[in-house]
Amino acid sequence: MDLNVTEVDHSSVAQTAAVTVILSLASLLGIPGNILVIWIITFNMQKQKSPTVVLILNLAIADVLVLISLPLWIYSFVHGWPFGQVFCKLLTFIIHCNMYVSVFLITVMSAERFVAVTYPFTSQRWRKVTVVRVVVLCVWILALLFAIPVLMYKELDNDENGQPQCMYGTFSSETQEILCTMMQFIVAFVIPFSMMSVFYMCIGKKLKGMVFKRHNRTGMVIGMVVVVFFMCWMPYHAVNLVSVIALMTKTNKAISDMLYDIYDYGILVAGALVFLNSCANPVIYAFAARNIRNSFQVSAFGKLFDQMTYAESWKKSKDASTEKKSFTLEELNSLQNI
């Protein structure tokens, strides 16, 4: 009996240590990294910002809003949550907003790449600053709306040591828990990544048929952002699905208890990986910028974002047909590879 208690204690300590390390790493890398991205795009861009760069700016803003809360979460894992239920609901709401904002923005970025590569001239009719602002506003509004359910079921709960923790939800019924979890899984994962998969399959098919090929830096950066987002968020959604299956198999106590154990051990680490995603994007931009000058320099970030912006020469043309006739083959290929 004492041996089992010791094993549980050791497991809990190891779990807390792993979560603390992940959150500390995300905080140390993510906060200055995203602030640097915001500062460069806002004040150091040499050209008018492209739709992709505007979307990257909003993605960095969403990540900063989440990362600045990390010191509070790190403290709560060790000492419990002393900040009250209202603050617990508020911070959890912000984190869920970030989840929806991030996946919606990345989906829009993928759609923008698809249109730019597949229909490079037609896309200019809507690739304008006013249109991008409307799209970004819609993304934030939708994220706020989809995150509202967390305000209804998020409650403080005591852990095995009797300390209050802001980690779990208290649902009014099993049906509500299943519906909320499945809505989050479908809206924030299944639909967006299905759309991204279709977009990138079409982009790959289009690029294979091109005669002149150039390095597609923008597509590479967005592709890496998509992959990292998938890797960081997939464990979280998978663990939540385990809890849903556990609820649906409660008639078989052995299977249900086993699934609940998997959920209890996995949710903390999976949740910590979610925060790690918020610090990953600046690292991706840094590697992409390093390829420009073979060494890391802050100015290389600005150069990277400048390269993501269309050249002014063809943007000033009056209509797409005139543009199409006046470009050389190399320029047309460059346009399609942006």
Cβ neighbors of 86 (< 8 A, separation 6 or more) are none
* pLDDT reported for residue 328: 45
Q: Report the distance separating Cα 229 and Cα 218, nearest Å.
A: 17
> What sign for the dihedral angle of Cα 319, 131, 40, 62?
negative
Q: Report the distance separating Cα 323 and Cα 120, nearest Å.
A: 11
* pLDDT reported for residue 130: 77
Q: Report the distance separating Cα 27 and Cα 39, nearest Å.
A: 18
Its pTM stands at: 0.79
Residue ranges per domain, the chain? 10-336
Q: HSE-up of 58 (CA within 13 Å, CB side)?
A: 28
Q: Report the distance separating Cα 208 and Cα 187, nearest Å.
A: 31
- Comparing CA positions, the residue from 109, 51, 81 lying closest to residue 281 is 109
3-state secondary structure of 90: helix
Q: Give the DSSP H or E segment for 261.
A: helix 253-293
Taking residue 93's Cβ as centre, other Cβ atoms within 10 Å add up to 17
Fold of domain 10-336: Rhopdopsin 7-helix transmembrane proteins (1.20.1070)
What is the token pair recorded at 305? 């974002």
- Comparing CA positions, the residue from 337, 51, 56, 336 lying closest to residue 216 is 337
Cβ neighbors of 48 (< 8 A, separation 6 or more) are 129, 309, 312
What is the token pair recorded at 220? 């590479």
C-alpha distances in angstroms, 215 versus 45, 179, 292, 312, 330? 22, 44, 12, 20, 13
The answer to whether 110 and 203 are in contact (CB under 8 A) is no
Local confidence pLDDT in tens for the 338 residues of the chain = 433 434 445 556 777 777 888 888 888 888 998 898 888 888 776 566 777 788 888 989 998 988 898 888 888 877 888 888 888 888 889 888 988 998 999 898 888 888 877 777 666 666 676 788 899 999 999 999 999 988 888 877 776 667 777 876 777 788 888 898 899 999 999 999 899 888 888 877 777 765 444 555 666 777 788 888 888 889 999 999 998 999 888 888 888 888 888 888 888 888 888 888 888 887 777 766 655 444 445 455 555 555 555 433 334 443 344 444 444 444 444 444 44
Taking residue 289's Cβ as centre, other Cβ atoms within 10 Å add up to 25
Q: Report the distance separating Cα 147 and Cα 142, nearest Å.
A: 9
